[in-house]
Amino acid sequence: MTLSAFIAQDLPWLLDLLYGAALDEEQWPVFLQGLMKPFDGANGVLHFFDIETQTTPIAYTFGLEADYLASYQEHFSNRNPYPVQTFEKLPILQVRPAIAVLSKDEALRTEFYNDWMRPQGITPDHLGCTAYNDGHTMVVLAVAPSERNLASNVERYTQQLELLAPHLKRAVALSRVSRPPYARMALPAEFSCGAMLISESRAVKSINLHAEMVLKEGRLLTIDPLGKLRVREPEGQAAFMVAVDSVFHRQAPIGGPVHCRPPLGDGGVSIVVLRLPAVDPRRALVLLLPKPGGPVDLTGAQFTAAETRLAKALLTGQALSDFCDQTGISINTARKQLAALFAKTGTNRQAALVAWLLQRKA
């Protein structure tokens, strides 16, 4: 492919995908997957760097294997040797090889290169471009063609990225101003803890007042420029990503708890992610509980033995019909027990009931 062919054929198509993603956060992976064609099967990452905390969480990837992505979230994110301070000094919208940030000799000596980059064919001189920097968040697109392709086409790849970079900057800025306001009415009022509904991509769709206050404080949780919920602490973010993945992809009823503590002080919350297939399979409920979770302790709740058995089944994500089949009781009996649980906990929906039960953790 020549640069003129890229401009005539691929660039208009990519810009359609990019600006579509700016208006609909669910489309960012589609745009990034589209980069693989003009960069000859390259893989890469759209990084969101938190300048204040000097952390480098992954936002979106393309062309990377799921196992390597999981290992980054669980282990290698804290071993990424590419320093945020150096990225801040690079000229915005200009494409640079990664060796401008970390020399090849330094990269070759790191665990991150030898155990994470090299097995995926990512070279120390892969290309990167800072597309956005508002003083708080810096967005860097890294593109890593194969070593052979990069050696033969580095000039064309650089020019292609330079053509895309200003549009990426506008798209990130547009995504921030075009994001619809959170819906507060979609969550029941009886949630006494922070509660949010999120999409598979971690975009916040609905929020209650308790959670909004935690977000505004900004010490534990934040929203990145594309509207994704993120835990400030790197280890907490990695655990949160695992919890979201377990709920949406592994179909687990509950993800977490993820324990989060502020940089100073003894406060903090535990995040629990709940699957809601009966309500909306496209959403998960995120609860911000005021203390770490442990074994469920229903002592003093004045539940009967049958109600306690149902409460524990609901905590595992079991459907009411499955509970009836397992215990041999009728659906009407189970509904009466559920109604009793609602009355005793002051709730009127199963999600709110589960939130109340989770708050009883020791």
Residue-wise pLDDT tens digits, 187-238: 666 667 788 888 888 888 888 888 888 888 778 888 877 778 888 887 788 8
User: pLDDT tens, 291-321?
Assistant: 644 445 555 567 888 888 888 787 766 778 8
Question: Which amino acid makes up residue 25?
Answer: E
Average pLDDT over residues 262-268: 61
Residue 66: predicted pLDDT: 78
User: pLDDT tens, 129-159?
Assistant: 998 888 778 888 999 999 999 999 999 999 9
- Distance CA(167)–CA(19), nearest Å, equals 8
Place of tokens 């936002």: 59
Q: What percent of the chain has pLDDT over 90?
A: 24
- Distance CA(196)–CA(5), nearest Å, equals 45
Residue 14: predicted pLDDT: 95
- Beta bridge partners, 60, equal 46
CATH code of domain 3-178: 3.30.450.80
Strands (E), the chain: 43-50, 58-62, 95-97, 127-133, 137-144, 194-199, 204-207, 221-223, 229-231, 254-260, 269-275, 283-289
Q: What percent of the chain has pLDDT over 70?
A: 86
**Closest residue by Cα to residue 187 from 177, 179, 196:** 196
**Closest residue by Cα to residue 353 from 325, 305, 317, 327:** 317
Average pLDDT over residues 249-269: 74
Confidence band of 362 (pLDDT split at 50, 70, 90)? very low
Sign of the four-CA dihedral 195, 71, 66, 138: positive
In this structure, which topology does domain 305-358 adopt according to CATH? Answer: Arc Repressor Mutant, subunit A (1.10.10)
Cis amide linkage into residue 295, ω under 30° from 0: no
3-state class of 165 per DSSP?
A: helix
Phi, psi angles (nearest 5°) of residue 168? -65, -40
Residue 297 or residue 37, greater confidence: 37
Where are the domain boundaries for CATH 1.10.10.10 in the chain? 305-358
**Closest residue by Cα to residue 212 from 240, 191, 184:** 184
Place of tokens 């708890």: 257
Number of Cβ within 10 Å of residue 169's Cβ equals 18
CATH code of domain 194-289: 3.30.450
3-state class of 130 per DSSP?
A: strand
Where are the domain boundaries for CATH 3.30.450.80 in the chain? 3-178
pLDDT at 35 > cutoff 80: yes
Highest-confidence range of 76-90, 253-267, 328-342, by mean pLDDT? 328-342
Residue 185's alpha-carbon distances to 34, 149, 205, 207, in angstroms, are 37, 52, 11, 8
Mean pLDDT of the chain: 82
**Closest residue by Cα to residue 99 from 54, 144, 60, 59:** 144
Residue 187: predicted pLDDT: 66
Question: Which amino acid makes up residue 18?
Answer: L
Q: Are 57 and 239 in contact (CB under 8 A)?
A: no
User: pLDDT tens, 166-192?
Assistant: 999 999 888 877 776 766 656 666 667
Q: Are 255 and 244 in contact (CB under 8 A)?
A: yes
Residue 231: predicted pLDDT: 87
Which residues fall within 8 angstroms of residue 249, CB to CB, at 6 or more apart?
A: none
